[in-house]
With several copies, the nearest count.
Chain A
Amino acid sequence: MSTVTFREALIRAMADALEEDERVFLFGEDVAAAGGSFKLTEGLLERFGPKRVRDTPISEQAIIGTAIGAAVMGLRPLAEIMFADFAAVCFDGIANEIPKYRYMTGGQVSMPITIRMCNGAGGGFGAQHSQSVENWFLNVPGLKLVVPATPADAYGLLRSAIRDPDPVLFFEHKALFNLKGELPDVPELVALGRAEVVRHGEHVTLVATQMMRHRALEAAEELAAAGVDAEVIDPRTLVPLDLETIAASVDRTGRLVVVQECPNSGSWGATLVARLVGERLEHFDAPPMLVGAVDTPIPYSGALEELWLPSVPRIVEQVKRTVSY
């Protein structure tokens, strides 16, 4: 067991995957010689050489296309799109080709692609470099969406994503890169589609991912002092979604608050609520609530960005309202 940062866990996962399977190759803008814009791929070129670890031009459509063609032929492309917001410049490949290719060919091909990208706000990167773009893909069947919050999950989920025969969008939150956590010497894989109950509680279920998981947990500790015992669940993957774990918790607590770093319209939280109330309305003792961002682009100014993000006090406040409903 050792203490590593989220960044180190990612690098370790990529190295182990490259080691394990000759078909895996890593590519993207400045991932090789420079070790990544966020230093997330440091040392990998040196260790695996230029066939396995490749720099590309600034050509996201070409990056995604390369991933698709190589996957169809049996390689296991591990592509990086630097800021997740840039998924917009290669959206056609991600939304129209990757998730439909297998279906449209009647199962002739599989699509074992992993696309890593950095999402998330809080760093002053502004409206076009801070979005939680996993929400853009919720209505696109055929993609898996992974949103890790800890070094161990970053490692374990990335390994699972790379081994997975299906396409995975893997989101790395910029605010977590330096977060520390434990990693076993032989770290474990974490299966896609398994939520983690991060804190057990009886009065209310909080569901949150990535940076918001940490804020939800902080809120839960504050709430405990006020006598509210919150369960905190991190779904870890949005597709597939571990509805059972969340539903079981809600059936027990009767109360649900989703905390998410995005506007609520078209969010994963809204989808979760719609599914739960459709199946188990009678289990809710209070309205299920979404604590999200306001319906605006993400402002640059620190003063405004902190207001835009769901804060610990806002979470606490909503939970208190929900439990006293």
Chain B
Amino acid sequence: MSKASATDANVATAPVERQLDWLHTMLQIRFFEDECHRMFAQGLVRGSTHLCQGQEAVVVGACGAVSTVDKMLCTYRGHGAVIAKGAPLDRAFAEILGKADGLCGGKGGSMHLTDMTVGAVGSFAIVGGHLPIALGVALESQYNDRQEVTLCFFGDGSTNIGAFHEALNMASVWKLPVIFVCENNLYGEYSPLGTTTPIERLSTRAEAYGMPGLTIDGNDVEGVWRTVSEYAARARAGDGPVLIEALTYRQKGHSRSDPAKYRPSGELEAWLERDPITLLEAKLERLGVDRGRLDDMRSAAEHEVLDALERARSWDDPSPEQLEEDVYA
């Protein structure tokens, strides 16, 4: 599935403890979004929400390959990415609930979770809009001679918008340290990729920009981690950006109102068998971790999520004065 990687000779294996960390984060994300789903169904929160269930390995593997000082930009389907980058669960919930102590003071919402303190520079809801922004984030570290990288997540459907093209081209010209990660979950809203895009492998678009492009299994967290680690090292060394297409699957509908009836029968089931959490648990068992420890981790993660939600729900709404704050500095 994957093309030759940057440093094939030197394929790392992640230590088990590290893989357990990933599992923990993936479980937190999964439970976090279960609660989001429930809150929306109950009418507790408004607007729209876009779950990344099934895609957790991409963001956890990629964010796991970089550090807190590195930066990350993602989409409205970004709960997972922002949590993987280190944002606190309670303030993330609080933001979705529109609370004053939400990550963005309740002004952003589900589609715009941002936590600058952990390098989660923004979640963006205008398709493609953040790819050019990633350039500036990466430029700042290049400008100030810090060897940081910028992760930039986006969907398969987003590769057809103009901003994608301009961003990848200029990132390449300026050799900016951006890791472009395309989360190819087969659909853009309700449209299967094949109806909107005349090529099979999105990673081939990298050639148009003279940058490496590769396609990997997005449900294999270790594989994602390994690839991003390699290209992050390359970017830190000044050799510029990469386009990584991570093949994965959106287990839920596009947004809360979508029952996803357009899926061919059997497709969901096949992908559920390749659920990234199931895959990782099975692998860890093979590596000798016993089932009990995995079960404990699962219930710990669930409790952390439920506790965080309870805290968040007890917090206050923004006060009226906050309406006019934060427009100008």
Contacts and interface: CB of A to CB of B under 8 A. Distances in A.
Contacts of A104: 104, 107-108, 112, 114
Interface size classification for chain B: 35 or more
B107 A300 contact: yes
Nearest to B162: A61
B329 A301 contact: no
B122 A101 contact: yes
Contacts of A68: 132-133, 136
A198 interface: no
Interface in B171-207: 173, 188-191, 195-197
A102 B329 CA distance: 8
Contact of A72 (B103, B109, B115, B121): B121
B127 interface: yes
B181 to A, nearest CB: 16
A129 to B, nearest CB: 7
Nearest to B326: A107
B167 interface: yes
A220 B122 CA distance: 43
B103 A106 contact: yes
Contacts, number: 254
A308 interface: yes
Interface of B: 45-48, 71, 98-99, 102-109, 111-112, 114-116, 121-122, 124-141, 143, 157-158, 160-163, 166-167, 169-170, 173, 188-191, 195-197, 262, 317-318, 320, 322-329
A56 B133 contact: no
Contacts of B158: 58
A88 to B, nearest CB: 7
B160 A66 contact: no
Given A57-B170, A68-B136, A299-B323, A106 B104 contact: yes
A124 B137 contact: no
Given A29-B189, A123-B46, A62 B129 contact: no
A86 B197 CA distance: 21
Nearest to A109: B116
A59 B157 CA distance: 9
Contacts of B173: 57
A34 B191 contact: yes
Contacts of A270: none
A308 B323 contact: yes
Given A106-B105, A301-B99, A71 B170 contact: no
Given A62-B169, A68-B136, A69-B137, A106 B107 contact: yes
Contacts of B109: 124, 126, 300-301
Interface string A122-148: 011111110000000000011000000
Contacts of A142: 327-328
Given A57-B197, A61-B162, A300-B106, A103 B326 contact: yes
A72 B73 CA distance: 12
Given A70-B139, A75-B143, A62 B132 contact: yes
B271 to A, nearest CB: 20
A93 interface: yes
B81 to A, nearest CB: 15
A146 to B, nearest CB: 14
22 contacts: A29-B188, A55-B191, A58-B158, A58-B160, A59-B162, A61-B167, A65-B136, A66-B132, A68-B132, A69-B121, A69-B133, A73-B140, A89-B163, A92-B129, A106-B326, A107-B326, A112-B329, A126-B47, A299-B106, A304-B107, A304-B323, A308-B323
B134 A69 contact: yes
Nearest to B111: A126
A201 interface: no
A110 interface: yes
B166 A59 contact: yes
